[in-house]
Amino acid sequence: MLDRYFKLSENGTTVRTEVLAGITTFLTMAYIVFVNPAILADAGIDRGAAFVATCLAAAIGTAIMGLYANYPVALAPGMGLNAYFTYGVVLGMGHSWQVALGAVFVSGVLFLILSLLPIREKIINAIPLSQKFAIGAGIGLFLGLIGLKNAGIVVDNPATLVGLGKLMTPVVGMAILGFFLIAILDNRKVPGAIMISILAVTILGIVLGLSPFGGIASAPPSLAPTLLAMDISGALSLGLITIVFAFLMVDLFDTAGTLVAVAPRAGLLNPDGSLKRLSRALIADSTATIAGAALGTSTTTSYIESAAGIRVGGRTGLTAVIVAILFILAIFFAPLAGSIPSYATAPALIFVACVMASSLARIDWEDLTEYLPAVVTAIMMPFTFSIATGIGLGFITYVVLKATTGRFRDIHPVMAAVAFVFLLKFIFT
């Protein structure tokens, strides 16, 4: 039954591989069930309710992605989007968190409309191959920076922006150990190398007293404080239009970037470079945002950490379904899930970053109008700490270079329109 529904044999995978991939993806993104509630709590949202909302939104969105789109991609409240929600909209602009949730809900409805039309699909398929490869590499570099930061290898430096952390500390040593363990196991073709490393480093850290063992299970907190608490009428006021648009644009291109990045490795690209079943994936992503806002969390989006599970061999929606089940279980096993420290998951992010950066090799390095915009896209993501910004600057560079060199046929009309919208955004924000 599973083979028929998810087309496992057709995609060259097995139930065992998909389960292993799902567990791996979950372990690399499990941090969100603790980080997101902490950020939303700063906006005044009940932390316990935010924890449950985060788990449920991730489970619902990921399940839809797996069952409807048959993609091995997991969803959860997006990092960056939750920071904008709290520190930009609520604390920065003075809106209530209920109004902010309303803006997320409205943007989710707009996502769904654009997905059904299908404008979002046309936008993503209009992206040239060089930019698709660059987006994958750029997100990899962005992911690598996050991993290096979480591991303590890279730290902020007032003089140079970033600097090298103290390598001779137990936590950094554990992260470095985890990275090499993944590399060695993966090189030896050991299935589940990333998951094995995460679990091994976690256990070793607990034994050495570097991180606490939080227990196994506890009763889930109440969702009542945030369930259907969004203020939709407040979000529809004239002053909130720019906020809704910001949520719309960032989620649109964060999702596009993630799907484009993981598609080649998951076998989800058609011969012409377009993504298979893209409209279904976008509908799943849009529905997840709507559900997440109703439950009480910021925008739910596709997670680049899905690349970790795909690296293990995940190729179908069964991987996503496993992740969804684990998010449900996380509600009841919060102490156990919280026992996995960041220094255990950081090596997985760094390793996946190295793998994703290899897509730069597929760019035409003999054509300046192709490789220069690609490099801009790739390097601006980590340097601006924004996937959407990197995509926007890369798109603008691509259109300008193609136009000024007389190669107008290479510019898809949708690509030109999106670049122009990004240009307006950078000018007026």
**The amino acid at 335:** P
Residue (of 34, 136, 44) closest to 76 by Cα position: 34
Residue range 242-271: average pLDDT? 75
Look at residue 190 and tell me whether its pLDDT is greater than 90.
no
Residues of the domain holding 21: 2-428
pLDDT value at position 236? 80
Residue range 79-93: average pLDDT? 78
Of all residues in the chain, the percent with pLDDT exceeding 70 is 95
Q: What distance in Å separates the CA atoms of residue 274 and residue 211, rounded to the nearest whole number?
A: 44
**For residue 155, which phi and psi values (nearest 5 degrees)?**
-130, 165
**For residue 270, which phi and psi values (nearest 5 degrees)?**
-75, 165
Of all residues in the chain, the percent with pLDDT exceeding 90 is 28
Number of domains in the chain: 1
pLDDT band of 398, cuts 50, 70, 90: very high
Which three-class secondary structure state does DSSP give residue 73? coil
Residue 123 token pair: 């936008």
Pairing mode of beta strands 161-164, 75-77: unpaired
Judge if pTM exceeds 0.75: no
pLDDT value at position 338? 66
pLDDT value at position 238? 57
Residue (of 305, 243, 344) closest to 25 by Cα position: 305
Look at residue 256 and tell me whether its pLDDT is greater than 80.
no
Taking CA atoms, 343 is separated from 125, 149, 157, 213, in Å, by 37, 10, 21, 15
pLDDT band of 69, cuts 50, 70, 90: confident
* Other CB atoms within 10 Å distance of the CB of residue 1: 5
Look at residue 426 and tell me whether its pLDDT is greater than 90.
no
pLDDT value at position 240? 66
266-296 pLDDT tens trace: 777 777 767 788 878 888 888 999 999 999 9
